[in-house]
Structures are given as C-alpha cells and as structure tokens.
Amino acid sequence: MQGPLIDTLARQGVTRRTFMKYCATLASMMALPPAAGRAMAEAMAAAPAAARRPSVIWLPFQECTGCTESITRSHSPSIEGLIFDAISLDYQETLMAAAGHQAEEALHTAMRENAGKYLLVIDGSIPLGLDGAYSCIAGKSNLEALKEAAQGAAAIVAMGSCAAFGGIPKANPNPTGAVSVSDIIKDKPIINIPGCPPIPVVMTGVLAHFLTFGSLPELDSKGRPKAFYGETIHDRCYRRPFYDQGKFAHTFDDEGARNGWCLFELGCKGPVTHNACATVKWNGGTSWPVESGHGCLGCSEPDFWDGGGFYKALSMPADPLKMGAAAAVVGAAAGVALSFANRGKKSAAKSAHETTTLADLEK
C-alpha cells in the first residue's frame, strides 16, 4: 500500500511524535535551526513513500571496512535504520548474503534496472599504480569498476576520507598511487562525506535529504554537505571557551586535562578540521574524542596523515631547525667570506692612501 511516509513508519510502530523528535534531533545534528526540524518533519511526513525504493549500490575499493562498520554499528534498530529501510541496498559486499557470481549479477542487474537513477556509494580510494592491480574485484580494477558504475549513477557519495580525499592509502609516499573519487569522475555530482570513519548520521542525513526533498544537500567547496562540515570542530567545541581564556592542558594527566581545558597544546587539530563530531558525537551520542580527553586528529581533512604529528600543536612547525642549522653554517661561512673580502677592500684603500696636501683640496 502506498501513502505518506508517516503511514509507512506508523505501520512499523513509529509514532508521529517519535518522528518529530527524530527530525528535531537530526536538524540539530545538521546544524540547522530548530525551526528546520519541524519543516523537515512536516515535509517528510507528507511525502509519499516511493513506489519503488531508491536503489543504492555500495562499492568498496582500497579501504579497511571501517566506514561500513561505522554505519552498521551506529544504529541499533532505530529510526535511522528505518531510513535505511526506505532504500534498497542492492550491492554491499560486507552485508549482502550473495557472493561470487551471484553478487556480480546482483550488481549488474541493479545497474541495468536503475540506470540513471541509483545512488552510488564508494568507500576506499582508487589505486592507479601498476594499472590498478593493487585492488581488483572480480578481475576488474577499481578504476574500471568505478567508471562503469558511475556511468549510470544519479549521484555518487564518496564515503570516508579515502574515497573523498585519498585518505591513508594516499599518505606519503603513496605506494599504490591512490586517488579520490573526484580525481577520476568529473561529470557526476559527488558528495564527499570524509572522516576516518565518517559520522553515520551524515549518511542518514544525506539520505533523509534525498528522500525528503529529492535532491542533494548544499555542498561546500570540497564537496561536503555544509550542514555537517560548515564549521570546524574548534568552533563547536564545548572546550572552546577555555581556548579563548588561554587555559590549556599541557599533558594528558595534568590539572588542565582533569579540568577539561583546551587540548590545543596536545596537538588537537580542531581549528582546521571541518566536521560535526562536536555536536553529533559518537556511539549514539555518548561521547567524542575531545570529550574523552584526546585532541582531534583532523581525520576528515585532506592529507590529515601528512599534516604533522598528532600530538604536535597546530602552531608547531615540522622541524625547521634542522635546515636552519645547516643554513646557519652556510650563513656564517658566507659572512666570513664577505668579511675577508670587505676587509681586503678596506685595507687596499688604506694602503693606496696618499697623504692629502693643501693642493689636494682643490679639483
């Protein structure tokens, strides 16, 4: 039976109030004003449940399955799960029962039947080294698989820092020649959901947006949903006031650490990291790294792995003194050489001195 989404939910035991509460929380997580939560609830409740659930194809490339873990573990049977229920996940290696040829067939069937309409989710980076031989599925390199699957996709979600920016595989010296999805696909809308792993609700938020409004949320210059990545961890951090007051933890077990002061000195990358951890938190809203006393690693930013030590404060440079010492030697040597040249010139001028007589005052 077809009807508004709210009816579908009601049949599954979800009341209108539960749904309103969920939307309020989702709006809060998406950093939308509280009024947007009500608007979303009204729009979604009224929206007709799709005749056919939108197809989602999820391809894993050079990845660690952490992103999948993050998504699947985040929601116990809850509203978020119901949002997932509103889609048809047609291919997901880790989750699907099918394997081998069956799985391949499911993939191709889904691609064929939903051509131009399906949502393609990618996690993991794409290795270009050795003609892509570093990572293959069913004899196909990730590059080929991506190009093929991207052709019929309505949009692509690059899930996790590897798919979005290349992530850890791309870290210096990048042995596999890993690149991000957006490095390869140029003609499809791409939503980057970086993070190592990304926050699950970002995924459901994007899906909710897709289901509610039939469109993708607003993205920033790096292709990330503005709602979640619009501000830095530092801006939304509950420890921010201590930064402003100049109160810092200096070690992980000092007075400042116990008082919950700012972790900037301990290497927190919050000021340069755009993500929603500070508001959405992790593990069902239990906590998040800074709340548990550890600085942000900056995992949702490009090349976070090569951004200097995790425990080095942002204002600390890599190590300029090593080169500086060499420069000092060169500078001193140059200085000494110049000194000799100058003194030579000066004493030459002196030895060429001709005593001035009265006649010498006139031209």
Partner 1 sequence: MNDMQFLTWVRGTGLDIAVSIFVLGVLWRLFEIYSLGRKADLAAPRDTPGASGWHTIFRRSIPPQGMVKKSPVSYIGGYTFHIGLAIVVFLFAPHILLIKNLTGLSWPALPSQFIDLVTVVTMAAMVVVLADRINKPVKRYLSTFGDWFTWTLTFLPLLTGWLAVQHLLLPYTVMLALHILSVELLLIFLPFTKLFHAFTVFGSRWYLGKINGHKGVAV
Partner 2 sequence: MPLDAIPIVVINPSENSAAADRGLSGNAPVLLREIAQLTGRLLDSGEASAIDLRALPLTPADLDWLRETLGRGQVAATLEAEGESTLTETVCPGVWWVTHHNENGAVASEFIEVTFVPELLKAHPDDVRIGLEHLELLISDLS
Partner 3 sequence: MSASLEKGVRVLKEVIDAPIASYFNSCVHCGLCAEACLFYTETGDPKYTPIHKLEPMRRLYEQEYTLLGRLGKLVGLSKPVTDDELEAWKELVYNSCTLCGRCSAVCPVGNDIVYMVTKFREGMSASGHAPEGIIGAVNRTVTIGSPMGVKLPAVKAQMKHVEEDYGIPIPLDAEGAEYMVMLSSMEIINFPEYLAAIAKIMKQAGKTWTLCSTAFEATNAGYQIGNSDLARVLVMRIVDGAEKLKVKTVISPECGHAYSALRWNGANVVGRPFTFKVQHIIEVLGEFQEQGLLKTEGFETDRLTFHDPCQLARRGGVIKQQRNLMNMVAKNFVEMPDAGYMNWCCGGGGGASAIEEGEELRLEAFKKKKSQLDAVKPDRLVTACANCRIVLEEGLEHYQMDIPVVGLTEMIAEHIPDQTAENGA
Q: Is 332 in the site for partner 3 (CB under 8 A)?
A: no
Q: x/- contact string, 302-321, with partner 2 (CB under 8 A)?
A: --------------------
Q: Is 358 in the site for partner 3 (CB under 8 A)?
A: yes
Q: Is 24 in the site for partner 1 (CB under 8 A)?
A: no
Q: Is 356 in the site for partner 3 (CB under 8 A)?
A: yes
| Minimum CB distance to partner 2, residue 269 (Å) | 18
99 C-beta neighbours (distance < 10 Å), count: 9
List residues bridging with 125 in a β-sheet. Answer: 62
Residues 301-360 binding partner 1 (CB under 8 A) are 301-304, 306-308, 312-328, 330-332, 334-336, 338-339, 342-343, 346
Q: Is 46 in the site for partner 1 (CB under 8 A)?
A: no
Q: Is 251 in the site for partner 1 (CB under 8 A)?
A: no
Q: Considering only the stretches 29-37, 54-62, 86-94, 326-334, report the one whose residues sit in contact with partner 2 under the rule CB under 8 A.
A: 29-37
CA angle 248, 167, 60 (to 5 degrees): 135
Q: Considering the complex, state which of residue 76 and residue 351 has its C-beta at the smaller distance from partner 3.
A: 351
Q: Considering the complex, state which of residue 6 and residue 159 has its C-beta at the smaller distance from partner 2.
A: 6
Q: x/- contact string, 129-158, with partner 1 (CB under 8 A)?
A: ------------------------------
Q: Considering the complex, state which of residue 138 and residue 337 has its C-beta at the smaller distance from partner 3.
A: 337
Residues that bind partner 1 (CB under 8 A): 222, 232, 234-235, 243-246, 248, 264-265, 271-272, 298, 301-304, 306-308, 312-328, 330-332, 334-336, 338-339, 342-343, 346
Give me the residues that bind partner 3 (CB under 8 A), please.
334, 338, 342, 345-346, 349-350, 352-363
Q: Where along the sequence are the contacts to partner 2 (CB under 8 A)?
A: 14-18, 20-22, 24-25, 28-29, 31, 33-35, 38, 76, 78-79, 235-242, 245, 247, 255, 258-260, 279, 281, 284-287, 291-292
